[in-house]
Amino acid sequence: MLLACEDPDLFQHMVDEYTAFYQPANPVERDLVEEIIGAKWRIRRLKTTEIALVDCEMDSKVEEIEKLTKSDSGIHMAISYKGLTDGSRATALLSRYESRLHRIYHRSHQAFLELRRSIAAGLIGTPPAPNLPRPLPTPTNHPRPNRRSPRQLP
- In tens, the pLDDT along 49-84 reads 999 988 888 888 777 777 775 667 787 788 887 888
Instruction: Give yes or no for residue 107 having a pLDDT over 90.
Output: yes
Is there a contact between 112 and 22 (Cβ–Cβ < 8 Å)?
Answer: yes
Give the C-alpha separation, 117 to 40, whole Å.
23
Count of CB atoms within 10 A of residue 135's CB? 6
Give the C-alpha separation, 17 to 53, whole Å.
29
Mean pLDDT across 108-123 = 95
Give the C-alpha separation, 56 to 49, whole Å.
10
Q: Which pLDDT tens digit goes with each residue over 39-51? A: 999 999 999 999 9
Nearest to 57 by CA among 40, 25, 79: 79
DSSP state of 145: P
- What is the pLDDT, as a whole number, of residue 67? 73
Nearest to 15 by CA among 26, 2, 5: 2
